[in-house]
Amino acid sequence: MSSKMLSLLLRAEFAPRPGYQLSEAELRTHKVREGNKVWRNPRLELVEKPIPRIQRGDEVLIRVKAVGICGSDLHFVETDEEGYMIYPGLTRLPVVIGHEFAGVVEDVGREVRYVKPGDLVTSEEMLWCGVCDSCRRGFVNHCVRLNDPSDLEYGELGFTHDGAMAEYVLVRERYIWKINSIREQVGSDEKALEAGSLVEPTSVSYHAIFNRAGGFKPGAYVAVWGAGPIGLAAIALSKAAGASKVIAFEVSPVRRELAKNIGADYVFDPYELQQKGVEPWEKIVEVTGGEGADMHVEAAGAPHYTVPQMLKSLAIGAKIVQIGRAPKEVSMYLEVLQVKRAQVFGSQGHSGWGTFKHVIRLMAAGAIDMTKIVTSRYPLEKALEAFERGHKRVDGKITLKP
């Protein structure tokens, strides 16, 4: 094993926007809560870096085999008029990006028990502490130390800590999940590793629908707004969980096709409907025989548009779950929630609750096949080309193969 590896590094200037107040800790550590207020002129570079070395007993060195490009990764290098990155969240640069990945265990620290070299694994992206008040209440997706700018031990893999768009990545045992069982189902390492790289985004949808919103009964009607990777996972999971009709709305033709392939019973283009003078909510009412959808999943990141549509197509007892992220306010007529006995749930993250385990089991059982959403594959050396394509938003998922 040579001592250097190829990796994709994200750099930017630390240039807090005039008038934006950073805390003393953010100024000192550059672990900032709102990336879009601080990082200017972001750029990606393929660089040689030393292969990370195991330093603590619970660390695992993973040879990365598949890593997906996430919307957040694209938002790192997309900028506003003033040259600031669009990504609005926790970041500490420079950093090797990449957080949706799978690989093979190369080496383990002396205390590691859960995995051994040769195991196929994936990892959570949220580096939660397990000790803070939120973690002890079971809310690891809301870990206080993860979000604390003065705490450099915890954070997010590929955002504040070197991630997986590299030949190797170092992760603590507590965040790792074995995916050997997927290999048994799909028959090849390559397909299992690709599926494994999709466990993280799929878990975001799983957490939202089943943990946060408490799921739905088999036979339910589910509406999924937006069919990017998160919406597509919501569609596949809803079918696997016994939804009798899944109704999806998506503007991109490629993604509409994927929505069908992954299990949606009805797929509509909101623009096309608009041209015909039909609103999306009317389609839901029509398809559900006037009853409305029992679960609405917001995965479009456009709640100002989707939520008013949802409010007009709620079944009695319906749930709305908000996954898509958008810095937009939404006005809601709460009377509707009362009359329909409806609830709204906000969801963030993918960790905890055994979510990764359940998603892996669904993949290993063949109940969901998320590899259908991968529409482009690139070797890591061509990562910059892959990002060029990513910015065009013509794919389901682009996967890099280090």
Catalog residues that contact Zn ion under the rule CB under 5 A: 70, 128-129, 132, 135, 143, 145
Q: Which residues contact 181 (CB under 8 A, 6 or more apart)?
A: 360, 361, 364
Whether residue 207 lies in the annotated active site: no
Torsion of CA 12, 18, 24, 26, to 10 degrees: -30
100 vs 107 by CB, closer to Zn ion: 100
Give the residue from 327, 289, 331 showing the smallest Cα distance to 36: 327
Closest CB 209 distance from Zn ion, rounded Å:
17
67 versus 135: smaller Cβ distance to Zn ion: 135
Q: Which is nearer to Zn ion, 315 or 398 (CB)?
A: 398
Catalytic pick among 2, 3, 30, 72? 72
Of 36 and 309, which has the nearer Cβ to Zn ion?
36
Q: Which is nearer to Zn ion, 198 or 315 (CB)?
A: 198
Q: Are 194 and 102 in contact (CB under 8 A)?
A: yes
Work out how close the CB of 132 gets to Zn ion at its nearest, in angstroms, rounded to a whole number. 3
**Rounded to whole angstroms, how far apart are CA atoms 255 and 362?**
22
d(CA 234, CA 246): 10
- Cα-Cα-Cα-Cα torsion 144, 146, 151, 152, nearest 10 degrees, comes to 170
Nearer to Zn ion, 313 or 355 (CB): 355
Distance, in Å, from the CA atom of 119 to the CA atom of 350, rounded to the nearest integer, reads 22
Whether 75 is catalytic is yes
Q: How far is the CB of 360 from Zn ion (least distance, A)?
A: 17
Nearest distance from C-beta of residue 105 to Zn ion, angstroms: 22
Give least dist CB 220 to Zn ion, A. 27
Residue 18 CB burial class (10 angstroms; 0-12, 13-18, ≥19): exposed
The CB-of-325 to Zn ion minimum distance in angstroms stands at 11
Catalytic residue among 30, 75, 99, 350: 75
**97 or 129: CB nearest Zn ion:** 129
Q: Least Å distance between CB 390 and Zn ion?
A: 12
What positions carry a catalytic annotation?
72, 75
